[in-house]
Structure 1
Amino acid sequence: MDRLVKPDVKEVELNFKRGQKCSTTFRLNNLMHTMSVAVSLTTTNPSLFSFPQQFSIIPPLSSSSYALLLSQPSDQPPLISPADVIYVRTSMLPTGKAHQDDLRRLFSKPGPHVFRDATIPISFVGPQVVEFLISNHAEVPELSSSLRRAISGCSQSQVTELLNPAIDSGNAYLISTLIDAGADVHGRENSDKGSILSSAVRAGNIEIVKILIASGCEIDDSVDKVLHEASAMNRVDLVEILYKSFSDIDVNLVDSDGRTPIHIAAARGHVGVLRFCLSVGGNADVSDNNGWTPLHFAAAEGHLEAVECLSECSNTKYVVNKEGKTAFALAADNGHSHLLSLLRLDDLLQRAARLDDVHGLKSCIAQGAMVNGRDQNGWTPLHRAAFKGRIECVKVLLNHGALVDVVDDAGFTPLYCAVEAGHVQVALLLIAHGARPNVKSLKGVVPINFDRFKNHPALIHPLNHEKERA
């Protein structure tokens, strides 16, 4: 004979609740056709668990229900490895009747009349158990099996609510397990904090972010400022994966203050994030609600590399905020003297080109001024020197890498400026360095008016020659 009774479960699940006595029930079925069976229930930890009905009698081919009590309330589930178990011992009872004292004596004497019919593991389940496992995952043996058992006692909404503490734990396995158990990744924390993906980005765990994206988690631009959050943390890896994963994500999206991710990165000096956002269409010229551009923020905080990066692609050095201050003024106000040269050198270079100050021009270039830097109208120093006919300055600029066919905001090249101002020798010099008479710009082709050069045959010939080549 294999056994006298059979339990209806492979393990008993106890839904744990902090500070409360909890209980669960299970059934035992008598497999004997003609004889009653006496039953004794014990556990490996009798100080923790108890049975209101420790001894009982089950009639032939009948079943009985039993309650298991957690008799000592606790603030945390008493998880151990291996788990506590229930021992089910049985004995045939030919008379079918016996008092509790008789049953106690029956099972107190070991012998062949007593069978150990079943050993049933005790599992703690429910959201509070999962929370405990999440917060103590490094200390809990056999986390995988314990977690799966604990989740079995949770509803879908409870499993979904557990995603946030799992994200805070930084354990990607926990997230995957919860999602496999039915957690809804499309749910939202609340109207202010946005999607579960926002929580993952704020936690900074790229593996969890990847899992959520792969599970179909979506974002809402009106609430989820994930690029702003990743930019604030200098996580260019997160910015990149978010940008590549969502086709409609916008690197120029503004938050409630009118700031883009570029503003956020500039204010913190996060150059890697700046360069990535700018490389995928980010606009460094946007002003926030207070009129601050990214350059204002970088200059105010003294971030040299960020100022250099923005100066290369932004034309906002002369923009004033609502307080009437430029980036230079903010840097000066905050004592960032190391930025003053960078923020003013280009101005000095433009001034030297205008005044034909060759020495000053060379000095600015030697100090790091940008030869192809632009003013508020898009003019480079070469535009200004050509327009003023400063041939020596033009030579210096060309020898130091000035772009000969660069166009200003109106689509004009330095050659056009020289010709319009009637500076023949400057125009010839520019042509000798490859300047073309018809340069295409965003405004189309801006042709040079040849009629004004009737008195300058030395200029008309090379211009016509260049025109034919063009």
Structure 2
Amino acid sequence: MDRLIKSDVQELNLFFTKGQKCSITFELTNLMHTMSVAVSLTTSNPSNFSFSQCFSLIPPLSTASFTVFLNQPCDQPPLSMPPETVLVRSSMLPTGKAHQDDLRRLFSKPGPHIFKDATLPISFVGPHVVEFLLSPSNKSLEMNFLFSKAISWCDDSQLNSLLRFAAKNGNSYAVSGLVEAGADVNERDLEGESALSLAVKSGNVDSVQVLIESGSTIDNKIDRFLHETAASGQVELMEVLCLGYVDIELNSVNSQNQTALHVAAIHGHVEALQFLLSIGSDPDITDSNGWTPLHFAAREGSVEAAEFLLNHSFFAKYALTKEGKTAFSLAVDKGNSHLYDMLQLGDMLHRAARIDDVHTMKSCLAQGGKVNGRDQYGWTPLHRAAFKGHIESVKILVSHGARVDLVDGTGYTPLLRAVEAGHVQVAMHLLSHGAKANLKSLKGVVPSDLECFKKYNSLVNPLEQEEGLKL
């Protein structure tokens, strides 16, 4: 015979509750038919655990109950790996009678009369244990085994609450385990938060992916997932959401009537702007104050965001807020001078060069307008002034650093534009300031336009001779 008694459990699952003196009761049965058995209970860590009775007598074929107590109430379960244990020992007691001191002496002496009947591991279970295992500070324990054991003792309501807790902390392993254990992925808390919304806020892509694959749904009336990801600039998370929910509203608005594109512009997340526009977000939509995403980019001084939005919007550059502000005005209010040319001065400078408005040109240049800024055709203000034959504008631009040999989108320099339009005085001025009288400035090829070629020969060749220049 290798044991005298039998335990009704293989392990002790102690349901832990913060701040309470937790306990668990188990039963031991005497396997002897005719003889009483003495029982001794000890723990591997007496400072943590105690018993309702350490020594006891169990009559033949009878069963007795024993309780293990956690000695002190605490906020964190005293977990350990390997887990702490309760050692159950026994010894035959033919007389069937003994005092506690007698039993203590009996078990204090090792020998063949002492049977080691069971070693029962103590496992802490319940939602408070799970919360502790999921806390960021807990990194030293073998979480997988302990976690699986702890959640097996949680009811549906506790599982749902823990799922939101795991999603909030971005723990994809725990999210997956809780879903498998039966947590409802679509239950929301009193504030309307689902596990998915909390996972999105945590920024954990894996957790979001697990929840999508587990059947999480979205409510476009209250869920602002694209707004959350736009604020953090997590494009990968945006992609996962848009692939998972084809019906997600790209232009849904928050309480300020702002779209996700507005939010991305506020935070200057250019990659988020690029992604949102690529899937159909509207760059010209205004919020409750009449602000477009460009207005926010201008206020925040984000060059990349402003430039991208300018290139993809129709009227945002000229849109007025409810206070009558353009994006340029907001940039001026905030002193974001590096955006002035992009938002307005560039346009004004080109327009002034086209109409020979010298005063406006000087004003634009003084405020930071880029003298060599290009329009959508690659023209600089000097190209425009030269083509129109505005000699005073040409002089102003050249004196402010305009580059005389920049080529436009079709390969023409300002000199070639002046020649094309037949403006001799402008051509002479450009030549005198270093413009190269070389047809190869036209992207290395002779212009196919025969008229331009004739004008070039008739105007530039005499000018070269007059200026003492060589081809």
TM-score band (shorter)? Answer: 0.7 to 0.9
2:218 counterpart of 1:219: yes
The DSSP-based 3-state class of the residue aligned with 1:34 is coil
- Correspondence for 2:95: 95
1:197 CA drift (Å): 1.4
| Shift in Å, 1:36 | 2.4
Percent of matched pairs sharing the same residue: 54
Aligned ranges 1:26-425 → 2 under 5 Å? 26-135=26-135, 138-192=138-192, 194-314=193-313, 315-345=315-345, 347-348=347-348, 351-352=351-352, 355=355, 367-371=372-376, 400-401=408-409
Question: Could you say if the C-alpha distance between residues 371 and 48 of structure 1 is closer, same or farther in structure 2, counting changes exceeding 3 Å?
Answer: closer
With over 3 angstroms needed to count, the CA separation of the structure-2 counterparts of 1:86 and 1:365, relative to structure 1, is closer
Pairwise CA distance, 1:210: 1.5
Change (3 A) 1:14 1:207: same
Cα distance in 1, alignment partners of residues 325 and 25 from structure 2: 74
The answer on whether the counterparts of 1:342 and 1:369 sit within 8 Å (CA) in structure 2 is: no
Query: SS state of the match for residue 162, structure 1?
Result: helix
Cα shift readout 1:263-322 (whole Å, capped 9, x = no counterpart): 111111111011111111110010000000111111111111111111111122111110
Measure, in 1, the Cα distance between the counterparts of 2:350 and 2:214: 55
Q: Which moved more, 1:342-351 or 1:226-235?
A: 342-351
Q: 1:372 to 1:242 in 2, by over 3 A?
A: farther
Unaligned runs of 5+ in 1: 374-379, 394-398, 403-431, 434-470
Q: Distance in 1 between the 2:81 and 2:373 partners?
A: 67
Q: How many residues align?
A: 383
* Contact residue 328 and residue 343 of structure 1 kept, 8 A: yes
Deviations 1:394-429 (A, max 9, x none): xxxxx8449xxxxxxxxxxxxxxxxxxxxxxxxxxx
SS at match of 1:244: helix
Shift of 1:136: 5.2
Tell me, what secondary structure is at the counterpart of 1:130? helix
Other-structure match for 1:428: none
Paired letter, 1:261: A
Question: How far 1:353 moved relative to its partner?
Answer: 8.0
Q: Is the 8 A contact 2:40 2:88 kept in 1?
A: yes
1:345 deviates by: 4.3
TM normalised by structure 1 equals 0.75
Is residue 21 of structure 1 aligned with residue 38 of structure 2? no
Q: Which moved more, 1:222-231 or 1:14-23?
A: 14-23
Amino acid at match of 1:199: L
Q: CA deviation digits over 1:68-105, x for unaligned, max 9?
A: 11122223211122211111111122333333333223
Instruction: Determine if contact 2:354/2:388 at 8 Å carries over to the other structure.
Output: no
TM-score (norm 2): 0.75
The aligned amino acid for 2:96 is: G
The amino acid of 1:156's aligned partner reads D
Displaced runs of 4 or more, over 4 A = 363-366, 390-393
SS in 1 for 2:189: strand
Listed as ranges, the gaps of 5+ residues in structure 2 are 391-406, 411-447, 450-471
Given that 1:50 and 1:70 are in contact with CA atoms closer than 8 Å, whether structure 2 keeps it comes out as: yes
CA distance 1:99–1:23, change in 2 (3 Å): same
Return the letter of the residue paired with 2:245.
F
In 1: Cα distance, 2:48 partner to 2:122 partner: 12
SS of equivalent to 2:249: coil
Q: Is the 8 A contact 1:365 1:371 kept in 2?
A: no
**Counterpart in the other structure of 1:5:** 5
* Contact 2:52/2:67, CA 8 A, preserved across alignment: yes
